[in-house]
Chains A and B, each alone.
Chain A
Amino acid sequence: MTRSAHPPASAGRGVYGDGAGKLRKAVDDLVSSLKLTEVWAYLGLEDVMSRYRQTLLGPLWNASFIVGQALALSVVFGAVFKAPISQTMPYILSGMLAWFLGPAAILDSSGLFLSVAGTIKTQSLPYLMQLFRVALRNLLIFLHNLVALVVIFPLFGQMPILHWTIVLAIPLLILACLPYMLLVGMLCARFRDVQMLLQNFSPVLFFLTPVFWNPAQAAGGGGGRSMLVVYNPLSYMVDFVRKPLLNQYASTADWVMLGCIFAVGVVLAAAAFVPFRSKIPHWV
């Protein structure tokens, strides 16, 4: 097949599909998505701008919601664990920010393909472009939340000093989430009730992950709860960004774990994307 040399990726992409062809086309999808960086960057930016158009505060509403929730949890669990709020609030707020950047982004990517069904059904654009668009949107929203953290921390006697590794931690966490977001996006396009399942289970996962409770406090309570920390990949994701937000350094084990999570994700996502990529326009 000959491809057009022109910028838009609107050249036909029909070639007889044996196994090898499918892998090549999946790789092509990735390459042309990267070539269209300006396009998905624009669309991701527009997603955030459109929230500003609809409301005065735009994504800052999100941030204030997170602050409110963190405050409520700090008051309640500060009392339960008999810890001063000046200690719980920074811990919980940073944990929630990390939660929304990583695990929540995965659980929330049900609309990855469904929400752009019209584009998918009329234009020959690579699918992974939609993934990058959503990832950029999540990053921009996270940066809004970060503003909230910087404003709120001093009120609780914590200086808003971030460890320099945050510059690496944020993009790496987003990268590690990408394959899982793709997986969720495809599953939700194929099976409509996965969306419901995720909506209902994401609060459960939120409670099971040490976002607002400290594993150090839980460890005393018995082996069951520390298992939640050790065998829960989401807890590594949260820790990976929370530590630099609290001016700590993520341990080597955290880095290795995140690498493993990413590697497993890539294998799973490839197992779904390579064989079923061409079915996506029929699903949405």
Chain B
Amino acid sequence: MTRALVEAFRVSLSYHVPSARARSLRYAAANLAVGGRLMKDGGSSVYVQALRDLSFRLEDGDRLAIVGSNGSGKSSLLKVIAGVYEPTQGRMEVNGRVSSMLDIGHGLDMEATGLQNVRLLAAMRGYSPWRLKDHVERIVDFSDLGAFINMPVRTYSSGMLARLLFSVATAFDHDILLLEEWLSAGDENFVKKATARMSDVLGSTRVVVTATHSPDLVRALCNKVLILNHGVPEFLGSVDEYFYRAAVLQEQEKKATAGGKLSV
């Protein structure tokens, strides 16, 4: 059996989302005085079971789509794989470099130039900007920003900003790619370039995990699908099985509605 790049062993994740009231010190002090009963009252703190008992295994070449409605735990799972959240139970094993393309615009300094921002964003991904001369040059080249690269980012149009961010996000090598949405940016010419780059990146990536709502993306990119329903895995299988299941469910639904109509 080949070595798994990502393997989840019965992963569960739960956490408290404290309300504004529960965040206050006075409340915590009062709570301490009454032995923690206030917290259990509910309303003060929302207890979220984001993932429950999730197991899967991704090997070289696997492309997993995580499907589910909003709040079903897609982002939480991506963050567990990224190493942002620690599972509260179970174990997540990740063997390889992870590149997370979640919230790629975070960390921009609007006053700094494009070039300074390239280095800043690299540092925020854990790379030493002092050792990245080649990378930085390639990023700058790819962004096609020309002389604008030495201008403060606040002078950029939204298209230019998107180009800069895309160039940085796709510049680093990795084994495992976490994708929250399909990345693309800029005007027509750049979109072509970006699409080509994205295919390149995906082609050279060993494992891709993406959270998506789009059946087209699932069909085009993925070979495995995981359906999450309130953090519980509802289905895990191949893309063919997924679409077969979807078709069957649709058929059943049709029959049910048709049956309902007849009985009226």
Chain A residues close to B by CB (< 8 Å): 1-2, 4, 6-17, 25, 36, 38-39, 42-43, 46, 50, 53-54, 118-125, 190-194, 197, 278-279, 281-282
Contacts and interface: CB of A to CB of B under 8 A. Distances in A.
Contacts of A38: 128-131
Contacts of B15: 279, 282
11 contacts: A8-B127, A10-B100, A11-B96, A12-B92, A13-B86, A16-B89, A42-B123, A46-B112, A120-B84, A121-B84, A193-B26
A1 B91 contact: yes
Given A42-B119, A281-B85, A9 B126 contact: yes
Contacts, number: 149
B82 A123 contact: yes
A14 B91 contact: yes
B136 to A, nearest CB: 12
A42 B84 contact: no
Interface string B145-182: 00000001000000000000000000010100000000
Interface string B96-131: 111110110011010110001001100111111111
A282 B92 contact: no
Nearest to A2: B95
A281 B20 CA distance: 17
Nearest to A191: B25
B28 A123 contact: no
Contact of A10 (B17, B97, B130): B97
Given A6-B97, A282-B85, A15 B125 contact: no
A122 B84 contact: yes
Nearest to A190: B23
Nearest first, the 10 A-B pairs at minimum CB distance are A12-B94, A124-B83, A14-B92, A38-B128, A118-B106, A8-B126, A278-B86, A282-B15, A12-B83, A10-B98
B240 to A, nearest CB: 29
Contact of B109 (A2, A15, A39, A50): A50
Contacts of A16: 87, 89-91
Interface residues of B, number: 55
Contacts of B130: 38, 42
A4 B6 CA distance: 12
B218 interface: no
A50 B131 CA distance: 21
Given A11-B95, A38-B131, A197-B25, 10 more contacts: A7-B128, A10-B126, A14-B83, A14-B87, A39-B123, A191-B23, A191-B24, A278-B86, A282-B16, A282-B85
Contacts of A6: 97
A279 B90 CA distance: 16
Contact of A123 (B80, B92, B100): B100
Contact of A43 (B89, B93, B123, B152): B123
Contacts of B25: 191, 193-194, 197
B9 to A, nearest CB: 8
B97 A1 contact: no
B211 to A, nearest CB: 14
Contacts of A193: 23-26
Nearest to B174: A10
B66 interface: no
